Amino acid sequence: MTCVRVAAADAGLGAGKIQAAGALEGPDVMGRRASWLAFSGRHDTSLATSTVVLVDDPGNPRHPTQWFVREDPYACAGAAFTFDRPYVLEPGERLRQRYRVIVACGELEGDRIEERAARYASPD
């Protein structure tokens, strides 16, 4: 499982910003398919802002993945490729999933995130 969890002191999406590919934001990201998801928020002590981006690898099953987000009892967002249906593995079968994690200083907006996510999807 790949997810971002925000400390209890920062609980609530009001303490940060969730966005995903396709101009999705906040709770609207729940269960939606998108090639990336980002969370931007402020640090407790410095009040500086950072952004964490999860980028779904194009080779992952059910790409683009669905995402799980919530804000109570703490903000959390993560990839959920089994969000609405199971994924069955036969005995001895393996499941491989890859995600790129991007950590950036400041709040990244959709265009800049999209540019970085596209580089991951097509590295050549």
Asked whether residue 109 is assigned to any structural domain, the reply reads yes
Asked whether residue 38 is assigned to any structural domain, the reply reads yes
Asked whether residue 90 is assigned to any structural domain, the reply reads no
Residue type, 101: V
The number of helices, as runs of H, and strands, as runs of E, in the chain is: 1, 8
Asked whether residue 104 is assigned to any structural domain, the reply reads yes
- What residues make up the domain containing 58? 3-83+96-121
- pTM for this entry: 0.84
Write the pLDDT tens digit of every residue in 70-88: 877 777 889 999 999 999 9
Asked whether residue 7 is assigned to any structural domain, the reply reads yes
When divided into structural domains, the chain yields a total of: 1
Asked whether residue 91 is assigned to any structural domain, the reply reads no
36 vs 27: CA distance, rounded Å: 15
Write the pLDDT tens digit of every residue in 110-124: 899 999 999 887 665
Write the pLDDT tens digit of every residue in 88-99: 999 999 999 999
Residue with tokens 């269960």: 31
Neighbours of 33 (CB within 10 A): 17
Asked whether residue 117 is assigned to any structural domain, the reply reads yes
